[in-house]
Structure 1
Amino acid sequence: MFRQWRRRRAIERIGHGDGRILPAFRWWQLLGRSLFHLERVDAEGRRVSYAIDVRQWRTDENGYLKVFLYRNDRQYAVSRVPAVFPVEGGNIEVAASNFGLKRCHFVSADGTEEQLRPNDRSAEGRRARLDEHRPRLSRAMGVISALVLLVGVALLLQEIAVPVLRIPPIAERIGPVEPLFTMPLWVTIGIGVVTALASTERALRMRYRWWLDAAGN
């Protein structure tokens, strides 16, 4: 019921597009633009092409990331994330994290989900090609990203737990508490950079688990 309510609210936020033509993907947009495609068939049997265009720097007046829906290469609708766009046979659902999209799926009326196809020139498209042509390397990168984020989760839990355990009523019961990991500043900064890279790698594959990726966000 809550999911249906959220979906209904997202649909109510949809605004009309201005009809402009979908811009081609340029190489300099590699780190700041996500572009995904979907093809459907309308009630009259005609093919309809959809594109989801997200520019990471385009936000509304409240700071929410904007999502543009193109229909047959014309801007058809606009919304903020999380976005839900009704299309033939279901909805396109889009959600984002601090490092990119964590969801860009077509959800049919019966609940079947299908991830939209990333543009070949985009970072997501290049990552998908690596997964297709170098599956072992792709899996190794995925495992390393997950391990890095697990380390980030452990450090985050420590930052939360230690101050709580030092609250006088708690400290009186359990005694003095010291951090398990004490690292110099340069190591902490390095871990932060590597964690951000790991989160970006997972975002390119739209892999997201709140308990894991929260360390990068």
Structure 2
Amino acid sequence: MSWHLSLAMIGFHCGVICGLTQDLVCDRVGRMYKSKYAYGQPTLCETCGKRFTPRARHGRFCCRGCAVVPSNKARTIHHIRPCEICGEGFKPIRAERKCCSRECGTIYRLRNRTPNPQVAIRHKLAVFCCGLIARCLRNKTGRTTEMLGYTTAALKYHLESQFENGMTWANYGKRKGCWSIDHIKMISSFDSQATMADINALSNLRPLWHSQNASRQWNNQ
């Protein structure tokens, strides 16, 4: 028997000699494959309603496409709308999206920031507050401690007492998988009479995963 013929007699998935061509699997091997991975009872997909047998005992979705739908409700594709800057039609992935691209979004933010002085004031205040806390964490004492009303050790102890699983000082930052300091009452919510000590009070600070922190800032805009 030639090498080509011997390959034609071996099952594609498990190598069992079954007399079928290389791209097929015999019934016996197919039954083994199904019984090995189909653990759950037949049920209905929570997204499309199709009846299926899940591989996991508590499977909820019939396919990956149905599984990602619930987690993407906030990113639902909306109807076509005109861009606020260039007027070109686009489909936003969020209901509050007003511009078709990053370039148009930058122009929109700058345009709105100029006529409304409160927007610029809030932005500068947020930058200053965050910078003040950053200087405190770098042990820049003196004037910083006076403005905040607490020491670096007190700030670190307060944040560490609220750490979630996976949070350490090694992953503090503004990148994926990192955490940052969040103002529970957002900086923009304070009136003009508020002091740095009021805004950055320990009771108003908490550690929060940066993705959640950025989402809060986006929704507030």
Same fold (TM over 0.5): no
- Greater strand proportion: 1
Q: State the TM bucket, normalised to the shorter chain.
A: under 0.3
Higher relative contact order (CA 8 A, sep 6+): 1
Q: Which has the larger radius of gyration?
A: 2
